[in-house]
């Protein structure tokens, strides 16, 4: 189906104003379809337009009391002719439940057979479960009714009232965009609370009620703390009535900001011990979605090129508010290690783009840009903007923006105008430099005869200003911090040239690449473990990772730095992030067996000294399991407690089984035995990942990935994750070429987020061969291939090109 273009959206927004929706869902059919009736009241300036309808069957269409020919539906659009000034449109359809995480999703819990449904309408999926005018700037209030099995409960954007057995009505909402309209229906377990007059709720599958009950107070506390912070920060209180956070299965994102009814992946309900980093991430996800109630829901972008007004703001606010107001700390350290590293790689890829591009031609293209730039870079730029303006001016402008456009839509120029009214100067130039350009400036410190000079190199002529700190650290790790504004290419820094380590942007205040001088690199093995600030350590590691990726630093030197310093690292997010990164180093840059053993030995040594039962111990154990080839030791962990307080919970058990399968020590029988022990939907997902790792299971896994339109999201992604591994290079070699011939076909039966997520996971990332670069580049440029696949392959080609060059340079 053709995607909505910006030109079409602007014309339709000029022609129509939607007054209201009344949407009736009938979910009583136990099969794979449901019925829906949309009644849309709208005004029209012209006589013709269209409505978005993507049904299994279109039963009837009635405009202003007159039936229309259902055969007029073409490519998801139903044409409307003879429009009047005031119009009433009624559309009755049969819709198909979704298995790909978009539309109205139907999921059967493997633990007990119960059925759960929830709506996911972002970005262009709303018409997959109800007919509508699907674009962000045609907002309207919604009234929803639902018929369903009598043992189900229903939640949604408006407060739910049961009106009879299996019958529910949702209160009329404030004006909403189509992409965050949601219903949730099924035999959910509910927990209720309250905050300052706002009804709060948590919900999950019945099979996960124990972990939800165990963490309910923590979840409610984060929710209340975040509301407190936002109510202090913003002039407007929360405006959408009840506030439910519903943990749902087979979700293809972390969470979705549906007003009043936030949906969250139930991967965030922990069945066993979780690391502090995982709990902190969950907290930030909740705070992020709450930020959207103001940025995205109350005020929505006019078109998807200003998606950053949603996601960058929510990303920035999530880290800021989580750090300042919740029980979870070190959020900016996590941002630097995880989110910023993601964004830095994206901003140096061939698919880079501005934070706020001038235009996106259609809604589908905007989905491709849900990436490390729209989230992490945008958040870092906003952090820099707040520092540049000062908080008073920044928040005054933000509040003015929210008040001026409440329940409506706005764009970048309108936001900048409100900041200017608040007292900001020169922001048009600043926004052009930061929001309309791509790439990162590079900062480096030069030791001169008389001191230290900080240099800025730009990939273009943007000459972005930076408000930042430079840190100097002596042999004991004692810091000297210098604050400065870098608005020219070089500036002197008040540090002595004899200082052991110099770190530009030591507090991670801006968006740059950092290059460390040779003296600093030489001193890092001794000094890095003594630097107390985790964020500064993240800045250093990002500099090391980036220089390794671009071939400026020998990957063996980076690996040696990890082995030398990881024993002293006290941050579980650092351990987890670095182990994930080292997968690329040992799988792509260096000989696998040799480099893997270095990582495994370092983590095994850390396990012997880390605090028993701690979050850090669990993070270290996971890394060790992923890298060790000691199959007998791993088997022993499955049969007996390894001691020192290490909890081998069910998810860690599955990680051990996966590694043993990859090593050829376990087969299908052991996977089946573990699944018999863990007969849950989560167990099914883990088993799918393990089966994809079987030497004799590759073809079956390949067919599921490349040819099965009915596989659920979580099982599909797990299968893709389990397929490639450097220890199985010979086994998977025949599939490398098949990737380039088979992946395009998945665009015929998959779309949206799941297509992009799958493509990113199934690229042959460990096949480092210069001969593949041309094949990848050709596929990435083939416009007959779905854009989400082409974007994933283009990014793979970038990684492949770098890996080939690193191997050539340091072989």
Read off the pLDDT of residues 652-665 as tens digits, 9 standing for 90 and up: 999 999 999 999 99
Distance from C-alpha of 448 to C-alpha of 264, rounded to nearest angstrom: 53
Helix axes 276-292, 308-325, angle to 10 degrees: 130
pLDDT at 360 over 80: no
- Three-class DSSP category at 33: strand
pLDDT surpasses 80 at 546: yes
Alpha helices in 502-553 (DSSP H): 518-527, 534-549
* Burial (Cβ within 10 Å: 0-12, 13-18, ≥19) of residue 732: buried
CA angle 163, 154, 754 (to 5 degrees): 150
Q: Give the CA distances from residue 250 to residues 151, 264, 684, 707, in Å, rounded to whole numbers and listed in that order.
A: 21, 10, 12, 19
Rounded alpha-carbon distances, angstroms, from residue 684 to 114, 411, 651:
15, 44, 12
pTM attached to this predicted model: 0.97
Residue 513 to residue 740: CA distance in whole angstroms: 33
**What is the predicted pLDDT for the residue at 364?**
83
Token couple for 707: 């040819």
Q: What is the spatial distance between Cα 107 and Cα 718, in angstroms, rounded to a whole number?
A: 16
Q: Of 283, 178, 295, which Cα lies nearest the Cα of 236?
A: 295
Query: Any idea what the Cα angle at residue 63 is, between residues 61 and 68, rounded to 5°?
Result: 45
- Biggest CA-to-CA distance, the chain: 86
pLDDT for the residue numbered 266: 98
Q: Strand order of the sheet with strand 490-493?
A: 490-493, 452-457, 441-447, 512-515
Instruction: Express each pLDDT in 672-729 by its tens digit.
Output: 999 999 999 999 999 999 999 999 999 999 999 999 999 999 999 999 999 999 999 9
Q: Which residue has the tokens 């989400």?
A: 788
Q: How far is CA 549 from the centre of its chain?
A: 22
Res 600 pLDDT > 90: yes
Label residue 7 by pLDDT band (50, 70, 90): very high
- Under DSSP, the state recorded for 529 is G
Residues 335/319, Cβ–Cβ less than 8 Å: yes
What one-character DSSP code corresponds to residue 206? G
pLDDT of residue 664: 98
Q: Which residues of 147-170 are buried (b: 16+ CB within 10 A; e: fewer)?
A: bbeeebbbbbbbbbeeeeebebbb
Report the first-to-last Cα separation within the chain, whole angstroms. 48
| Average model confidence (pLDDT) across the chain | 97
Ramachandran quadrant class, 463 (left: phi over 0; alpha: psi -120 to 50; beta: rest): left
CA distance 794 to 273: 38
pLDDT for res 361? 80
How many Cβ atoms sit within 10 Å of the Cβ of residue 218? 15
Enter the tokens of residue 628.
């060790």
Instruction: Return the exposure string of 87-118: e unless at least 16 CB atoms fall within 10 Å of the residue's CB, then b.
Output: bbbbbbbebbbbbbbbbbbbbebbbeebbbbb
Structure tokens that stand for 375 in this block: 């989230």
Judged by DSSP in three states, 223 sits in helix
Q: Specify whether 289 is catalytic.
A: yes
- Measured in whole angstroms, the distance separating CA 707 from the mean position of its chain's CA atoms is 26
Instruction: Say which of 102, 289, 576, 674 is annotated catalytic.
Output: 289
Which residues make beta-bridge pairs with 98?
105
Contact status, residue 617 vs residue 643, Cβ threshold 8 Å: no
Query: What pLDDT is recorded for position 366?
Result: 83
pLDDT digit string (tens) for 17-65?
999 999 999 999 999 999 999 999 999 999 999 999 999 999 999 999 9
d(CA 681, CA 246): 17
pLDDT value for 460: 87
User: Residue written as tokens 């439940």?
Assistant: 97
Q: What's the CA gap between 755 and 746, in Å, rounded?
A: 8
If DSSP codes are grouped into helix, strand and coil, which group holds residue 592? helix
Question: How is residue 453 written in tokens?
Answer: 């000079």
Share of the chain above pLDDT 70, in %: 100
Place of tokens 């990890």: 562
The gap from C-alpha 410 to its chain's centroid, in whole angstroms, comes to 24
Residue 362: the pLDDT is 84
Residue ranges with strand state E in 341-425: 408-410
Q: Are residues 270 and 278 in contact, defined by beta-carbon separation less than 8 angstroms? A: yes
Nearest CA among 388, 234, 366, 381 for reference residue 316: 381
Cα distances (Å, whole numbers) of residue 119 to 63, 115, 125, 264: 26, 14, 9, 12
Q: What is the distance between the alpha carbons of residues 273 and 621, in angstroms, rounded to a whole number?
A: 12
What is the band of 599 on the pLDDT scale with cuts at 50, 70, 90? very high
The tokens 């979580």 sit on which residue? 714
Residue 306 to residue 291: CA distance in whole angstroms = 16
Place of tokens 């057995």: 165
* Centroid of chain to Cα 274: 19
- Higher model confidence: residue 550 or residue 644? 550
User: 515 pLDDT exceeds 80?
Assistant: yes
Q: What residues have CB less than 8 Å from 728, skipping those under 6 apart?
A: 662, 693, 695
The confidence score (pLDDT) of residue 426 equals 87
Which residues does 508 contact at the CB level (< 8 Å), separation at least 6? 332, 335, 336, 340, 535, 536, 538, 539
pLDDT tens digits for 90-123?
999 999 999 999 999 999 999 999 999 999 998 8
CA distances in angstroms from 636 to 105, 274, 605, 654, 671, listed in the order given: 40, 22, 18, 14, 16
Task: Please report the pLDDT score of residue 122 as a whole number.
Answer: 83
> If you count DSSP H runs as helices and E runs as strands, how many of each does the chain have, helices first?
27, 28
Q: Where are the beta strands (DSSP E) in 187-233?
A: 189-195, 198-204
pLDDT (mean) for 596-616 = 97
Position 317 scores a pLDDT of 98
Which H or E run contains 345? helix 341-347
- Give the containing element (helix H, strand E) for 181: none
């Amino acid at each position: 189906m053709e995607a909505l273009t910006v030109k079409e959206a602007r014309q339709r927004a000029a022609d129509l104003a939607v007054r209201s929706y009344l949407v009736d869902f009938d979910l009583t059919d136990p099969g794979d379809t449901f019925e829906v009736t949309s009644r849309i009241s709208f005004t029209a300036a012209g006589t013709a337009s269209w409505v978005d309808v993507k049904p299994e069957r279109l039963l009837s269409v009635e405009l202003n009391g007159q039936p229309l020919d259902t055969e007029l539906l073409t490519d998801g659009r139903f044409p409307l002719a003879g429009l009047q000034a005031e119009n009433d449109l009624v559309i009755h359809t049969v819709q198909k439940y979704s298995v790909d995480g978009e539309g109205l999703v139907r999921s059967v819990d493997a633990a007990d057979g119960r059925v759960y449904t929830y709506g996911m309408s972002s970005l262009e999926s709303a018409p997959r479960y109800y007919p509508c005018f699907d674009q962000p700037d045609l907002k309207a209030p919604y009234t929803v009714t639902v018929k369903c099995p009598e043992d189900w409960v229903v939640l949604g954007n408006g407060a739910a009232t049961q009106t009879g057995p299996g019958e529910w009505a949702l209160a009329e909402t404030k004006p909403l965009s189509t992409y965050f309209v949601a219903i949730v229906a099924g035999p959910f377990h509910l927990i209720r609370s309250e905050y300052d007059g706002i009804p709060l709720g948590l919900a999950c599958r019945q099979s996960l009620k124990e972990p939800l009950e165990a963490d309910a107070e923590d979840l409610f506390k984060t929710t209340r703390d975040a509301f407190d912070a936002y109510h202090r920060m913003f002039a407007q209180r929360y405006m959408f009535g009840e506030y439910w956070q519903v943990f749902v299965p087979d979700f293809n994102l972390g969470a979705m900001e549906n007003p009043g009814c936030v949906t969250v992946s139930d991967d965030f309900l922990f069945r066993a011990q979780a690391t502090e980093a995982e709990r902190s991430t969950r907290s930030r996800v909740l705070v992020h979605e709450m930020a959207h109630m103001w940025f995205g829901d109350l005020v929505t972008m006019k078109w998807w090129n200003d998606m950053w007004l949603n996601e960058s703001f929510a990303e920035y606010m999530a880290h800021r508010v989580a750090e300042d107001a919740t029980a979870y700390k070190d959020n900016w350290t996590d941002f630097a290690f995880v989110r910023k590293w993601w964004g830095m790689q994206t901003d140096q890829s061939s698919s880079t783009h501005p934070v706020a591009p001038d235009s996106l031609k259609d809604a589908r293209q905007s989905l491709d840009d849900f990436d490390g730039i729209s989230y992490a870079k945008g958040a870092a730029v906003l952090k820099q903007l707040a520092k540049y303006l000062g908080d008073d001016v920044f928040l005054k402008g933000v509040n003015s923006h929210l008040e001026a456009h409440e329940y409506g839509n706005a764009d970048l120029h309108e936001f900048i105008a409100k900041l200017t009214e608040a007292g900001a100067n020169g922001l048009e130039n600043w926004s052009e430099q930061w929001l309309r350009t791509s790439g990162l400036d590079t900062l480096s410190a030069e030791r001169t005869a008389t001191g230290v000079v900080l240099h800025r190199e730009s990939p273009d002529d943007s000459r972005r200003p930076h408000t930042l700190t430079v840190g100097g650290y002596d042999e004991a790790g004692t810091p000297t911090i210098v604050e400065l504004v870098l608005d020219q290419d070089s500036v002197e820094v008040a540090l002595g040239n004899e200082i052991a380590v110099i770190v530009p942007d030591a507090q991670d205040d801006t968006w740059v690449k950092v290059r460390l001088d040779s003296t600093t690199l030489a001193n890092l093995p001794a000094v890095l473990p003594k630097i107390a600030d985790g964020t500064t350590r993240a800045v250093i590691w990002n500099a090391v990772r980036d220089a390794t990726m671009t071939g400026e630093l020998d990957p063996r030197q980076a690996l040696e730095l990890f082995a030398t310093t990881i024993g002293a690292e006290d941050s579980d997010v650092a351990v987890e992030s670095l182990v994930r990164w080292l997968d690329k180093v040992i799988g792509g840059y260096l000989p696998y067996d040799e480099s893997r053993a270095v990582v495994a030995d370092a983590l095994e040594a850390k396990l012997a000294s880390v605090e028993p039962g701690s979050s850090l111990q669990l993070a270290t154990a996971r890394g060790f399991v992923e890298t060790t080839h000691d199959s007998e030791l791993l088997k022993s962990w499955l049969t007996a407690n390894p001691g020192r307080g290490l909890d081998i919970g069910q998810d860690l058990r599955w990680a051990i089984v996966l590694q043993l399968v990859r090593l050829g020590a376990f087969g299908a029988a052991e996977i089946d035995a573990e699944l018999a022990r863990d007969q849950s939907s989560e167990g099914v997902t883990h088993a799918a990942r393990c089966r994809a790792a079987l030497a004799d299971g590759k073809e079956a896994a390949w067919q599921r990935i490349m040819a099965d339109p009915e596989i659920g999201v979580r099982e599909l992604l797990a299968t893709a994750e389990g397929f490639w591994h450097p220890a199985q290079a010979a086994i998977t070699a025949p599939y490398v070429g098949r990737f380039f011939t088979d992946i395009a076909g998945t665009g015929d039966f998959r779309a949206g987020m799941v297509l992009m997520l799958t493509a990113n996971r199934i690229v042959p990332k460990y096949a480092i061969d210069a001969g593949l670069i041309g094949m990848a580049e050709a596929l990435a440029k083939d416009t007959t291939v779905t854009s989400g696949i082409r974007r994933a392959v283009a990014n793979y080609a970038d990684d492949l090109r770098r890996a080939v060059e690193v191997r050539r340079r340091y072989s």
